[in-house]
Structure 1
Amino acid sequence: MASYKTITVKELHPTFGAEIQGISDHDNLTEEQLEDLRAAIAKYGFLLLRNTHLTDESHIRFTQRFVRDPALLDTVTRYLLNNTRKLRYHPHVELFDAGNLDDSNTIIHPSSPRAHSNRGNRLFHTDSSFNPRRASFSLLRAVALPPTSTGGNTEFADSRSAWDHLPQNLKHHLLAKDYIGAFSIAHSRKLGSPEFFKSVDPSKAAPMARHKILQVHEPSGRMNLYIGAHLHHLEDSTGAEIPEKESSELIDTLNKHATQENNVVSVQWEQPGDVIIWDNRAVLHRAGEWTGEGKYARDLRRTTVHDDGTYAWGLNDVGTPMPTIAGLLNTPGLLQFAATQEGVKV
C-alpha cells in the first residue's frame, strides 16, 4: 500500500481511481503535495479533487505545476479558424470547452451539429489519441453543473487492469502481433451519431494518428491497452492494414472487455470547483448519460497535456503538425463535421 505524506487517499475501486482529501489550498500546493499527487495518479490512473475553488487562471497554473513544464500544455489555437471565433473564456487558449454552451453562454440545442458531435464523448475514449502526439494528463473542472438528479457523471474504465484480466491466449496473440492502431476523431463522431454523420468517411479526414495498442504505462511500469472509440482500424507491425472484419472484431472485443461494468467507476459531479485528473495512458473515460440536454447548463473546462514519454509520438514522425480545422474544411463530405469542431476538442 502506497503511503503519502501530505494527502489522504480514498480508493474508489479495487484496482483504480481515488478521491484525494486533505488539501486546503489547491492554488498554493507545496512541492511535497505535488509529488504525492503525481505518485497517486501513477498508481490509480485518475484522481478526484472536490471543491478546489480553482479559477480559469489557477486551473492553468495548477496544471503547469503538476506537469513541471508549462510548454507541455495543449491549446485550442489550431481549432480557431482564422482566429475569428470568440472564446467564452478568452484569452485562456489552454482551456478546452467540454460543456454545452455556445460563445454567448447559451445552451446549445440538442439537434445542433455541435450536440451531435458531443455524442461521441459518450463513448469510452482517450483524449487526443487521434493526434500524432498524444496526450498524457487531462484535468477537467466543473464551472456550472445541472442538478445531480439529471445524471451527467463522468465514467472511467481501467485499461491497465483490462490487460491484466485478458485471457492468456489473447495476451499471447497481442504480444506476438504488436498491432498498430489508427485513430481518428471523425470515426468516434460517426459512431456517436451515425445518422447525422452518415456522409463522413473517416479515411478522408485528417491523416489518422498511429499508436501501438499495447504499451507500457511508464509511470507505473504496468502494461496498458491503448484503445477506445477513436480507434478506427488495426495495422500489423509493418504498417499493413489488417482485414476489416478481423480488425473490427478485435477492436470490439478489446473495447467491450475494457469497459465491462466491473471495470468501470462512475464519478458524480457535486459542485463547481470539483476537478478530475486522469492519465490517458492508463484509463479510458466517457461522459455518462444525462437527462438535462438542452435544459441545463453544463460548463466543464479542461486542460490537456502533451505526452513527453517514450510513446508520445507513437508511429508518427516527431514534429508532425497537429490536425487543424482548416485542413478539414476542403475535404469532401467533412464541411459539416469540421464546423462542429471549431474551438472544440475532446
Structure 2
Amino acid sequence: MPLTVQPILPAFGAECSGLDLTQPLSSDQLRQITDAMDKYGVTVWRDTGMTDEQHIAFSRNFGYLERVPKRPEGQRTRLPYRELFDASNLDLDGNITRDPAAIEYRKGDRLWHTDTAFMTKRTSYSLLMAHQVPSEGGQTWFADTRQAYEDLPEETKELLEGKTGINSLWWSRKQAGADIPEEEINERFKAEHPLVHVHRGSGRKALFIAAHTMDVKGMDKEEGRALIKQLIEHCTQPQYVFNVEWNVGDMVIWDNLCTMHRGGDFDAANEKRDMRRTTVREGTEPHTMETGDDPYTELFSRSPETVDINKARDAGR
C-alpha cells in the first residue's frame, strides 16, 4: 500500500498513513517517507502500535541514534534502552515526578527549540512516540524555519549571512526559569552553528536558531540577543505554525534542521504524560550502531545543580 500524505499547512506538516511502521520497510517505502519529510518537515503517524523495540528499529532506518547519558552499573533507568530519551513527567517508578530538578529541567521544553542544537553534532530527525497522554493539553507545536527565512526582508538576510549562533543547553534552561548564573553557563560547553544553512533534503535555506541560541558570534551581546529574539518571534507567527494533539500510539517525526518545536502546557503535577523520543544524528548512515562516541554522558556530567536530574535521582536511591 503506498504512502498517503495529507498536508496540514500547504507546504509544512503532513498526516501520513498507508505504511505499517512496525514491519521492515522496503527502500522505496523509506524513500517515500524521506521525500515527505523533505517536503513537509514534520510527519504525523496515528495509532502506530509500535513497541519500544519497533520504535528504535524503525528509527535506525534514518541514521545513527543518539543515546542518553550512561549510568553507573547497577543504577536504574525508567526506560530499557539508551536510544530512548525520556520526555515524560515521570520518575523511575513511573509515578509523576516531584523532583524539583527534573521539573525545572523540563520547563525548557515549553520554549521554542531544536533538539540538541547545544551539541557539536546536530540532530536531523526526532521521532517522538506517545505512550500516555493527559486528558487535555500537552500538544506539541511546530514552526517552519524554511518559509520563515524566505519571507525575511532582504536586509535581514544580508545581516544573517555568515553569522554563527552560540548554543547552550543550560542557557535555554535559564530562559525557562532555572536559577543558573550566566557565569556558570559560560564555564560549560557551548556549540557553534550557522544561523542560516541550506537544508540538504530540499535545497532550501532555513534558519537554525531557537531557545538554545545564547549569542551571535562577533556581535555585541545585547544586539545579538535582540536579533535572536526577533528571529524566534518571526518564525513562530501563526502562518508558520501548527500543533499536534496526541493520542496513545501516535508518532511524530520532525526534521530539526528546518523546524522549531515546543511542548504545550498540561497539568503536569496531576496527570501523566509518557513520551519517548529517538534522535538521529545528522549525516550518518542507516542502521549505524553504537560507535563508542558518547557526548551526552560528558555534557550531563557537569550539569548545573539546579537542573541536575541524575544527582537528584541518586540521592533518592
The TM-score with structure 1 as length reference comes to 0.83
Alignment partner for residue 281 of structure 1, among 253, 257, 266? 257
Q: Does the CA-based 8 Å contact 2:11-2:39 persist in structure 1? A: no
Which deviations, in whole Å up to 9, do the C-alpha atoms of 1:67-126 show, x marking residues without a partner?
1x4xx11111xx245345411122x110000011111111013x7221111010001110
The offset of 1:54, in angstroms, is 0.5
Q: Distance in 2 between matches of 1:337 and 1:145?
A: 24
Alignment partner for residue 86 of structure 1, among 52, 55, 76? 76
SS class of match (2:202): coil
- After superposition, the Cα gap between the structure-2 partners of 1:114 and 1:39, relative to the gap in structure 1 and judged at 3 Å, is same
Q: Does the CA-based 8 Å contact 2:67-2:296 persist in structure 1? A: no
Specify the alignment match of 1:238 in structure 2: none
- For residues 1-346 of structure 1, the aligned pairs below 5 Å read 6-24=2-20, 26-65=22-61, 67=62, 69=63, 72-76=64-68, 79-83=69-73, 85-90=75-80, 92-109=81-98, 112-147=100-135, 150-175=136-161, 178-193=162-177, 196-199=178-181, 201=183, 203-235=185-217, 241-270=218-247, 272-290=248-266, 292-308=267-283, 321-322=295-296, 324=298, 327-328=301-302, 334-339=304-309
Larger mean Cα displacement after TM superposition, 79-88 or 30-39? 79-88
State the one-letter code of the partner of 1:281. L
Q: Distance in 1 between matches of 2:300 and 2:155?
A: 45
State the one-letter code of the partner of 2:114. T
Q: Does the CA-based 8 Å contact 2:101-2:312 persist in structure 1? A: no
SS class of match (2:103): helix
Which deviations, in whole Å up to 9, do the C-alpha atoms of 1:166-217 show, x marking residues without a partner?
0121112222xx1111100000001112xx4244645334320011111100
The offset of 1:24, in angstroms, is 4.0
State the one-letter code of the partner of 2:49. H
Q: Distance in 2 between matches of 1:113 and 1:40?
A: 38
- After superposition, the Cα gap between the structure-2 partners of 1:27 and 1:8, relative to the gap in structure 1 and judged at 3 Å, is same
Specify the alignment match of 2:289 in structure 1: none
SS class of match (1:127): coil
Q: Distance in 2 between matches of 1:43 and 1:342?
A: 42
The offset of 1:234, in angstroms, is 0.6
Q: Distance in 1 between matches of 2:306 and 2:21?
A: 44
The offset of 1:336, in angstroms, is 2.7
The offset of 1:323, in angstroms, is 6.0
Q: Distance in 2 between matches of 1:246 and 1:108?
A: 39
- Unaligned 5+ segments in structure 1 are 236-240, 310-318
Q: Does the CA-based 8 Å contact 2:180-2:306 persist in structure 1? A: no
State the one-letter code of the partner of 1:189. R
Q: Does the CA-based 8 Å contact 2:118-2:212 persist in structure 1? A: yes
State the one-letter code of the partner of 2:302. L
Q: Distance in 2 between matches of 1:206 and 1:342?
A: 20
The TM-score with structure 2 as length reference comes to 0.90
SS class of match (2:12): coil
Identity of aligned residues (%): 34
Q: Distance in 1 between matches of 2:87 and 2:307?
A: 17
SS class of match (2:276): strand
Q: Does the CA-based 8 Å contact 2:149-2:205 persist in structure 1? A: yes
RMSD: 2.2
